[in-house]
Each structure stands twice: as C-alpha cells, then as structure tokens.
Homo-oligomer: A and B are copies of this chain.
Amino acid sequence: MPHYKPPVDEAIFLLNDVFGLKALQALPSFVELTADLVEQILIQAAKLCEETLAPLNASGDRIGCVRHADGRVVTPPNFKTAYTAFAEGGWVGLPAPEEYGGQGLPYTLSMLVDEFASSANMALAMYPGLTQGALAALLRHGTHQQKFLYAPKLAQGRWTGTMNLTEPQCGTDLGLLTTKASPRGDGSYSITGQKIFISAGEHDLAENIIHLVLARIDGAPAGVKGISLFIVPKILTNENGELAAQNKVSCGAIEEKMGIHGNATCVMNYDGAQGFLLGEANRGLNAMFVMMNEARLGVAVQGLALSEVAYQNAVSYAKDRLQGRALTGVKNPDKNADPILVHPDVRRMLLEIRSFNEAARALAFSTAIDSDIVHHSNDPQARQAAEDRLGLLTPVMKGVFTDIGFENCVKAQQVFGGHGYIREWGMEQFVRDARISMIYEGANGIQAIDLVGRKLPRDNGRAVMAFFKDAGDVLALHRDNVLMNDYVLPTQTSLDHLQKATVWLMNNAIGNPDNAGAASYDYMHLFGRVALGVMWVRIAHAALIKKSRQPELTQVMDSKLQVGRFYMERMLPETACRLVKISSGASTMMSIPVEMF
C-alpha cells in the first residue's frame, strides 16, 4: 500500500525562506500570525492527513460510493469518520472569516492543507474542497441573511457544497443550458432540470448539501446572459434555520468512472426544487466564476498533490527494489543487485517529477499569497496587481499543473515496472485519480483559450506585461551573482521565448483568431515552464542564503540546488520547441476539410 508524508518542511521553507512570513503579516488580518503558529497548524494538518485520510485512499477507490435504490449515496467505509475529524478540526473553514464560523487564517495556509489532503486522499478531500468553493461564492454574492444562514454550517463542514453547471447537452458552452427557474411568488424559485457530473452531489458525510445551481429564469435572454445562480439546499430549513423538509432534488445515478471512486459523481435531478437566487438575476456566470476560479486553483493543487505522493512512493520503491547493477560498477556489494536508484534513467524520472513539485508548490504558494492580498489588503494598487497575477496564473496553473501532475503519476508508476500496473501497489490509482484534474473545472484546452483569448488581452495586456516585468526584476536582482548563473541564464532565455510567443500572438491572432486557438495550448505550457523557472530562481537564491547561515543544512540545500539545475537543464529547454510550434500557426490544421477527418 502506498505511503504519504506531508512535506511540512518544504512548506515552511517556502514560507520562511523563499517568500517570507512578512508578505502575510503585512496584511491587516494577519499581523499577529507567527512562524510558530503556522508550523503548529501545518503539523496538525499533516498528522490528520497522514494518519486519518491516507489510509482510506486505496479502500475508498476499491469500494467506491454506492447509490441505493432510494437515491441515498453511501461513501466508502470510514469516510464519514475521517471527514468528521477534518470538519471538526476546523479545516474546512480555515480561510473563512471568524464571524462566519471560520478560522480567519490565510488562504495560503489553506492551500497547503489542501495539498496535503489531496495527496492523502483526493476523493475524500474533494468534499471539503467543493464546500470551500461554494462558501467563497456565498460570501461574495450572498445577502446578509443567506450568509448568516449557510456560511457557518459550510465553514464548519456540517453542510457541504456543490457546483451544478453541466447538463447532457451543455458542458463548456454554458449558453446551451436549459435548467429552468420559475418564480414561486414568494421570492424563491422552482428549479427544474437535470445536471450531470456533479461531484459530491449526494453522500452521507454531512447533515445537508447546498447545491449552487445555474439555471435560466423564465423569460430570461438566451445564451450566457440569461443564466442565474441559485442556492438549492438538499434539505430546506425552517424559520429558525433548522433542517425541515426534503427539497425536490435527488441523485438519479452515480457515474461509473475511471477514478476518484470515493467521490460520488452524480446525475442530479431537480424536479421543481425550491431555490434561492444568489447574486443578481442573469448574472449567474459572474457569481459562479468566483467559485470556479477558486476551484481551478484547487484543481491545480490536486495535480501537484498527486505528483507529490506518487513521487514519494516511487522514491521508496527505487531505494528498495534491487535489480541490476550500476553502469559505473557495483554499489551494493553485499547484495546480488543494486537498488534501481543507481540507474540514471530512474533518477531522470524521479527528478523530472521532483523538479516540478518543488517549483509548483512555490508557484501555488505565491499565488495563494496574491489571493490573500486580494481579500485582505487595504492598498488598492496592491490588490489590483495581485488580482491581475491571480487571473493570469489561474488558467496556467490549472492547465500545466494537472497535465504535468498526471504525467508525473505515469512516470512514478513507470518506476515500479510491472508492479506499477497492479492494483495493490496503488500507483495506478494515482494515475486514474489524477486524470480527472485535466478535465474538470474546464478542460485544459479551455484553460489555454481562457489564457490566450481572455487573460492576455484584458486591460491592454496589463497583467502579462506586469508578469514580464516582475520576472525580469527577479532575474536582474541575481544577474551579477555568479552562483546564480545556472538558474538566471536559462530562465532568461526561456522568458525571451515567452515574450517572442506573446508578440507573435499580438501580431497574428487579431487578424485570424484560429492562430490564437492553435497556439493556445503550447503557449499555456510555455508560460508554465517559465513561471516555474522563475520560482526555481527564487528557491535557489533562498537555498544559497540558507546554507550560508545554517551550514548543517548544506547537503539538503545543495540537493535542492541540484534539483533546480536539473530543471534548468532538462525541463526548461522545452520552451524553445513550444515557441516553434506556436509560430507555425493554424493554417495547416485548419486547411483539412471536416470530411477528411
């Protein structure tokens, strides 16, 4: 069975050495935050994830969720106990305001806990993950009364949340959705329609489920401008906010799927269910986007999380498995074979994974700080800059982290040879679970289009120009430091590739939008590689300082520096190739007639 140890030290290194706690302490809400407190919180979260969530991961996959004939859905054995421990520990509402039952702690911490939980048990972690998204949308768009009624229950994890967008005929193109909302005359609505692929749509973990449902009010305009967002509780509350009548919403089926069997993916039937408008009528997409952006970052973290746990297990196997001899001579003379970690190609696989993991965690961290700035800073300029970065990097992280996260699970599985294909080793589950992250919350091709078609041109390219400036500043800071050359020079080259690709898009996409579409996916990955390169520059600098101050950490920091070098030598060169592909344009692919496919 696989094992998992949350990388608390890595998180603390990022906090104290790479970014500095003061980035958070500068925000009025977090002036009292201390390094000790953060460490204690992370250690507690790590303990829960390692000891309570992780042991249920394999059995959760094997047994899965079961729907009974009456529509009830039962989660795998012990999921309820583990979920309850998670909720009662206050982990669901970690970043929520204290006035709504939360802990009032930075989202930055919450994202780290999310990573630990998703590594330990992705299917289980999705229940609180979706709840956090629903809570964010509610806090942003809800009335005072709605917030008062729902937020504390969600923050405490006593109730969970879902997001209901997809219908059979309507996935990416939300304009096609047909679920109806008819006014009941009392200010509420009757919701009727079928939603599919609803994660955590029905289950036995919590007392109630708050569905956020996109629907079209009678007479609303066609397309996306006629969509509204509704709160549809599974169980309606009475005047005192107590649970009362069952609402007319039910789970019609749960999907048989490739992975995340511990999370119920439901067909949800709304048969005149009572719903309450959240935010403005016909502005539902706008409200839902709060939840979606939050969810996209959460999914990006899932990519990292599965990459991390897969890496840890592959390393253990590579140290334990004796097979063959090192090419440079016997390393393990007492045994009849060397551990496979002696083989360069095994190290290549492991380092391709790890050199992503450490930089991706840093980028997630940096983005989470931006989210905290957006929500807590008093400085409008700082908020704006952070919001720009967040908007720009969210699709990059969702697309790149989940693509690479999945590839990394496949690589880690490969380290196991034939054993990787067998259920009992658990590696194939990581691959199956990771696969969904490339698809849901907007398939990665949609992230790429969001980046190129929406985020780049917005505000005349303000966000991307700021990214270039920030990245350039980081590189300039270290340009004269010869110890930093191995990191600064390759990253500068790749940043140039990204800038060239951006100029190419400016010159070629306006006249022919297909050029944007054809370039989008490679551009997203080019962007991701550069952003991770910049993170390695920052990590490398922090590691150099740390080892000069704490010589006892020399070996740890030197290894980190080598992993960073590996990234520069083996991962970053891809940017040149992406630029060539982008510059080839759309004409070849678009010239083939439909019937010739």
- Of chain B, the residue at the smallest CB distance from A589 is B347
The interface-forming segment of A86-94, A179-187, A285-293, A436-444 is: A436-444
Given contacts A258-B432, A418-B171, contact A347 B444 (CB under 8 A): no
The interface-forming segment of A155-163, A337-345, A387-395, A467-475 is: A337-345
Please report the C-alpha to C-alpha distance between residue A576 and residue B172 in the assembled complex, in whole angstroms.
36
Q: Is the CB of A513 within 8 A of B449?
A: no
> What's the tally of chain A residues with a CB closer than 8 Å to chain B?
94
Our pick among B255, B436, B517 for the contact of A344 (Cβ within 8 Å) is: B517
A424 at the interface (CB under 8 A from B): yes
Q: Is the CB of A589 within 8 A of B337?
A: no
A59 at the interface (CB under 8 A from B): no
Q: Which of A387-429 contact B (CB under 8 A)?
A: 406, 410, 413-414, 417-418, 420-424, 428
Q: How many identical subunits does the complex contain?
A: 2
Q: Is the CB of B257 within 8 A of A513?
A: no
A556 at the interface (CB under 8 A from B): yes
Q: Is the CB of A428 within 8 A of B258?
A: yes
- Of chain B, the residue at the smallest CB distance from A325 is B173
Determine the chain B residues whose CB is within 8 A of the CB of A256 once the complex forms. 422-424
The interface-forming segment of A31-39, A457-465, A530-538, A567-575 is: A567-575
Determine the chain B residues whose CB is within 8 A of the CB of A555 once the complex forms. 593, 596
A525 at the interface (CB under 8 A from B): no
Q: Which of A286-329 contact B (CB under 8 A)?
A: 315, 318-319, 322-324, 327-328
A69 at the interface (CB under 8 A from B): no
Chain B CB within 10 Å, residue with most, of A347, A351, A520? A347
A527 at the interface (CB under 8 A from B): no
Q: Is the CB of A518 within 8 A of B597?
A: no
Please report the C-alpha to C-alpha distance between residue A517 and residue B342 in the assembled complex, in whole angstroms.
10
Q: Is the CB of B520 within 8 A of A345?
A: yes
A382 at the interface (CB under 8 A from B): no
Q: Is the CB of A255 within 8 A of B513?
A: no
Given contacts A258-B432, A588-B565, A597-B350, contact A418 B520 (CB under 8 A): no
Q: Is the CB of B345 within 8 A of A449?
A: yes
Our pick among B318, B559, B588 for the contact of A596 (Cβ within 8 Å) is: B559
Please report the C-alpha to C-alpha distance between residue A408 and residue B435 in the assembled complex, in whole angstroms.
14
A125 at the interface (CB under 8 A from B): no
Q: Is the CB of A421 within 8 A of B436?
A: yes
Please report the C-alpha to C-alpha distance between residue A443 and residue B411 in the assembled complex, in whole angstroms.
11
Q: Is the CB of B443 within 8 A of A336?
A: no
- Of chain B, the residue at the smallest CB distance from A564 is B588
A581 at the interface (CB under 8 A from B): yes
Our pick among B318, B346, B435, B444 for the contact of A431 (Cβ within 8 Å) is: B435
The 8 closest A-B pairs by CB, nearest first: A344-B517, A327-B513, A569-B584, A559-B596, A258-B428, A344-B518, A256-B423, A573-B580
Not counting A258-B432, A328-B512, a sample of 9 additional A-B residue pairs whose C-beta atoms are within 8 angstroms of each other reads: A170-B323, A176-B336, A176-B337, A255-B423, A327-B513, A341-B597, A345-B448, A418-B439, A418-B440
Which residue numbers of A lie inside 8 Å of B, CB to CB? 166, 169-173, 176, 196-197, 255-259, 315, 318-319, 322-324, 327-328, 336-337, 339, 341, 343-351, 406, 410, 413-414, 417-418, 420-424, 428, 431-432, 435-436, 438-440, 443-445, 448-449, 453, 512-514, 516-518, 520-521, 555-556, 559, 562-563, 565-566, 569-570, 573-574, 576-577, 580-581, 584, 586, 588-594, 596-597
